[in-house]
Amino acid sequence: RELGRFDLLTQEKIVDFYRNAAIQGLLDGSVRLFGLLVGEALIAVQYLLVHQGTVHALLIAMDQGVVPNVSPGLAIMGRLIGWAREQGFGYFDLSVGNQSYKEHMGAKGSVLVELRHGFTMRGRVANAAIEFRRRAEAFVRSNPRLLKAVQGTMRGLRRLRG
């Protein structure tokens, strides 16, 4: 939120989903929660999903204010990758997104495939809207100056909504 990015965790239904999944997953071992402390201060928390030999890094939260010259997110992620190897997990999924830290950690990108087909008029309209948005995003991302302007506008709008 501090970075001005869109945050699904501002929506109560999403928070409830992850809370309920964590409660269930902590019981059956499919969800793991980790924290990173500096003294008494919790500086990073990571929510992981474990399934079929893979660790999926789903959610991360960090407090940059406690140690401003350190990246708590990178610190906890590095430790968790080491933990996963020690536990015998063969794959650590850093989740979606092309953030530069993933490449710096040696991650390899993989293609996500999207299949959609509208069977009704409403479905076809929705499909067309999704395709329009996808193409518009690709166009904006292909133009660095336009991308920077759009990102600044979106951050400003999110701040206004509070």
- 39 CA to centre of own chain: 27
- Strand, helix or coil for residue 40: coil
What was the pLDDT predicted at 3?
55
Instruction: Quote the tokens at residue 12.
Output: 């109560």
**Average pLDDT score, the chain:** 87
Q: Is 150 exposed, middle or buried (0-12, 13-18, 19+ CB in 10 A)?
A: middle
What was the pLDDT predicted at 44?
93
**pTM higher than 0.75, yes or no?**
no
Say if residue 8's pLDDT is above 70.
Answer: yes
Topology of the domain comprising 1-109: Aminopeptidase (3.40.630)
What is the sign, positive or negative, of the torsion defined by CA atoms of 21, 25, 31, 32? positive
- Tens digits of per-residue pLDDT, 10-26? 889 988 998 998 899 98
What was the pLDDT predicted at 1?
53
Q: Where in the chain is the domain with CATH 3.40.630.30?
A: 1-109
Q: Measured between alpha carbons, how far is 74 from 127 in angstroms, rounded to an integer?
A: 37
- Tens digits of per-residue pLDDT, 16-74? 998 998 899 989 989 999 999 989 989 999 999 999 999 999 888 888 888 888 888 88
- Tens digits of per-residue pLDDT, 73-126? 889 999 999 999 999 999 999 887 777 778 778 778 777 778 888 999 999 999
